Structure 1
Amino acid sequence: MIQSIYDQMWTSFKLASERNDYELDPYLLNIDKDNRRGISVLAYLKQGNRSVLDEIMHFQKMVRTIEPDQYFHPLDELHLTILSVISCIPEFRLSDINIQDYAEMFQSALCSISTIEVKYRGVSASPNCVVIQGFPVNDALQCFRNALRSNLIKAGLRATFDSRYTLVAAHSSIIRFKVPIHDGQKLLALCQEYRDYDFGSIILEDFELVFNNWYQNLAVTKCLASGSVSQ
């Protein structure tokens, strides 16, 4: 099922390349003016295998030679979204919720899971971004997401998870398109070269509940709760 999601993305990217019909993100031209905020549970990739980040950085550098003016997620901000609890909306503020209620919900869900391992293999893309394909090695990620969903519903907390689609994939976004693509065919060819590339595996055991903007910029992100799981 997860591979089919990445394949659908790839098909839309190929069509965008053929038609030069990409979806550019206007907010990236001036992120400071973007007032969309939300609540997420995530894990940063920097806690895992450094060689995976080195491989991702190398791929980013290769894309930069073709498309230097796009938005490249900094390595220390690369993450796996466990669940978008409240999707980013304009002018959402922490004062709109009871932080402690969400922190307790998060900690309760964290107690019920084990270490998450994700295999990063291959590149996919859409008309607006490039991602590294992630594949959970065990069912811990699904269990964590289900526990968070269940706790949010039981507690009656404000949430918008799964409002756009049910989150089942484990990808990490690494590049977003903010200006017209310079050479779509070269970009497509490079991504095709990495379509099944083995970036390596990461074991995730540290997680955070955060207040964030759309791009998970560390300058904006505020940690509301954090915790680790046992092996």
Structure 2
Amino acid sequence: MEEARMSQELETRYEKMWEENVWNLGQVEVDSFLRSQTDRRTGITLRIRPSAEVLRKVVAFQRLLMKVAPEQYHYPEESIHVTGLSIVSCSAEYERFDSGLLAQYVDLIDRAIQGVDTFEIAFQGVTLGSVGVLIQGHPDAGLAALRESVRSTIQEAGVFQTLDVRYKIDSAHSTIMRYRQEIQQVEELRELLTTHRALEFGQSSVTHLELVVNDWYHSPAKTDVIYSFQLD
């Protein structure tokens, strides 16, 4: 019952995001950092990588996006992810992290996921945020259980973290395109997105998690995988 309620709430949120943004493509929120050569924002994330089959379908959809919006920022395949938890939110204050702190995170997360089973995320549909295009992720109850276990373990340990400072994450989307500048072909992009609003990307069985030090966009050149965890 609880899983069904959470699923419905998430679907409602995705629909609301779509309705709020699909008719505002002529006035988007441009990410000025995408044009910056001095973006030093760095954070620590526990992230989930979609399956190879899901990624293949996402990349195929991205090719369509690139044809109508080549001027925008399209995430490389290596950067596409679902945020499990943002342990330290990206900030210019944190250009480097002490290796001892990273080792503590590894130990705490490894402890927190003991007994956490693998879970599923179904990727179906596209929606819009104020910053770009998102793939809708629909997780089972396992993702919420994982987040709560890791969150409470880290918070109770008293180590440095910024969990829930920006917001308490409860979504499972994956951002695949960000607005680098105003959209040049607004109607063409709106038509493409509307046509593919319910596109099926497939299902991922989540068996691994990555702890990474990353920039805001999880750029391959600015993201280091610190540890890969395996779920039971």
When the two structures are superposed, what TM-score results if normalisation uses the length of structure 2? 0.91
Report the more deviating stretch, 2-11 or 85-94.
2-11
Q: 1:55 corresponds to which residue?
A: 57
How far 1:224 moved relative to its partner? 2.3
How far 1:23 moved relative to its partner? 0.6
- Give the unaligned 5+ runs of structure 1: none
Which of 107, 111, 121 matches 1:108?
111
Cα distance in structure 1, aligned partners of 2:195 and 2:43: 35
How far 1:149 moved relative to its partner? 0.8
The answer to whether structure 1 residue 122 and structure 2 residue 125 are counterparts is yes
Q: 1:227 corresponds to which residue?
A: 229
Does the CA-based 8 Å contact 1:38-1:212 persist in structure 2? yes
Q: 2:46 corresponds to which residue?
A: 41
**Letter aligned with residue 95 of structure 1:** D
Cα distance in structure 2, aligned partners of 1:21 and 1:127: 10
The answer to whether structure 1 residue 132 and structure 2 residue 140 are counterparts is no
Q: 1:25 corresponds to which residue?
A: 31
Q: 3-state DSSP class of the match of 1:33? A: coil
Does the CA-based 8 Å contact 2:27-2:182 persist in structure 1? no
Q: 3-state DSSP class of the match of 1:219? A: helix
Report the more deviating stretch, 220-229 or 141-150.
220-229
Cα distance in structure 2, aligned partners of 1:95 and 1:23: 34
| Partner deviation per Cα, 1:20-66 (whole Å, 9 max, x = no partner) | 21011111123x52100111101222xx2x33222211211111111
Q: 2:6 corresponds to which residue?
A: none
Report the more deviating stretch, 92-101 or 161-170.
92-101
- Give the unaligned 5+ runs of structure 2: 1-8
How far 1:192 moved relative to its partner? 1.1
Does the CA-based 8 Å contact 2:118-2:142 persist in structure 1? yes
Aligned length: 223
How far 1:13 moved relative to its partner? 1.2
**Pairing 1:1-231 to 2, within 5 Å after superposition:** 1-17=9-25, 20-30=26-36, 32-45=37-50, 48=51, 50-92=52-94, 93-95=96-98, 98-136=101-139, 138-230=140-232
Cα distance in structure 1, aligned partners of 2:169 and 2:188: 31
Structure 1 vs Structure 2: percent identity of aligned residues?
30
When the two structures are superposed, what TM-score results if normalisation uses the length of structure 1? 0.91
Cα distance in structure 1, aligned partners of 2:171 and 2:127: 12
CA 1:66–1:106 in structure 2 vs 1: closer, same or farther (change >3 Å)? same
Cα distance in structure 2, aligned partners of 1:6 and 1:96: 38
**Letter aligned with residue 220 of structure 2:** L
**Letter aligned with residue 112 of structure 2:** A
Cα distance in structure 1, aligned partners of 2:225 and 2:123: 26
Cα distance in structure 1, aligned partners of 2:175 and 2:181: 17
